[in-house]
Amino acid sequence: MVTPLLYALVSGFKSTEQLSSNAFGLPDPWVTSNYTSLLGSGPFWRAVGSSTVIALATAVLTVGAAALAAYALARFAFRGRELLFTLFTMGLMFPFAVAILPLFVLLRSFGLLDNPWGVILPQAAFGLPITIVILRGFFREIPGELEEAATIDGCSSFGFFWRILLPLARPALGTVSVLAIVGSWNNFLLPLLVFSEPTWWTIPVGIQQFQGQYASDVARIFAYLVLAMAPALAFYAVAERQLIGGITLGATKG
């Protein structure tokens, strides 16, 4: 897994001529201008900013809505609860590409094309199933006695959710937040569908446009790919323990 990343990193320090004559060797000389020119480029940082804003907004919306739904599905007994949960889990089997055409028509009718909400809202909707599945399993592990004690002390259902359940669920909330942010950062098809103007182009769309513009400068494309991957890889590396721990935390009782 590391080999392609290292190859892209080293290739970014070469010129296109070096890649043609010495594809697997070390650069000679090292061409740092491929990276420095991109780091000083306004469009690159605009794409980074767009991806960051959209990813954070998607994570907040997904986790907020899914936490409320998972709380109701885990702690309340009502008719049709399991059927409703089954409908959510069926969303895991629904491929995003199938919804492209109706989604485009829907976004156009609501005037959400070339609007960041046209990406944030569908991403949050498609992120709900896996988020609800993870949070529901965690919420069900919270002892009922704790909720009974909170109720006796005068805490409402929403008060228990906000003041007690959410603080206890920080590992699970961290896990689903990481999944939502990384998933949004890597999403290519939806931003390509929604954004026709470069103002809100995200990193994956920026890579596609950059590759078309500099098709003959392969080394610079490698540099762009490395810089585009770096934030997501760094974030995932920092949050890896949180991600794995949160997924496995509710797997067993006791």
Q: What is the tens place of the pLDDT at every residue in 154-185?
A: 888 888 888 888 888 888 888 899 889 988 99
Of the candidates 226, 212, 220, 214, the residue with the CA atom closest to the CA atom of residue 32: 220
**C-alpha to C-alpha distance for 161 and 68, rounded to whole angstroms:** 8
Give, in order, the Cα–Cα distances in Å from 97 to each of 54, 101, 142, 190. Answer: 20, 9, 37, 9
**C-alpha to C-alpha distance for 56 and 53, rounded to whole angstroms:** 5
Judged against a pLDDT cut of 80, whether residue 253 lies above it is answered with: no
Tokens of 246: 């949160």
Q: Mind listing the pLDDT tens digit for each residue in 186-207? A: 899 999 999 988 889 999 999 8
Q: Mind listing the pLDDT tens digit for each residue in 104-143? A: 999 999 999 999 999 999 999 999 999 999 899 889 888 8
Answer for the pair 96, 126: CB distance below 8 angstroms, yes or no.
Answer: yes
3-12, 70-79, 225-234, 235-244: range with lowest mean pLDDT: 235-244
Q: Is 171 exposed, middle or buried (0-12, 13-18, 19+ CB in 10 A)?
A: middle
Q: Which residue has the tokens 């323990």?
A: 241
Of the candidates 140, 188, 186, 190, the residue with the CA atom closest to the CA atom of residue 165: 140
Within a 10 A sphere around the Cβ of 16, how many other Cβ atoms?
18
Give, in order, the Cα–Cα distances in Å from 54 to each of 48, 58, 93, 95. Answer: 10, 6, 24, 21
Answer for the pair 208, 188: CB distance below 8 angstroms, yes or no.
Answer: yes
* Contact partners, residue 75, CB within 8 Å, separation at least 6: 139, 140, 147, 157
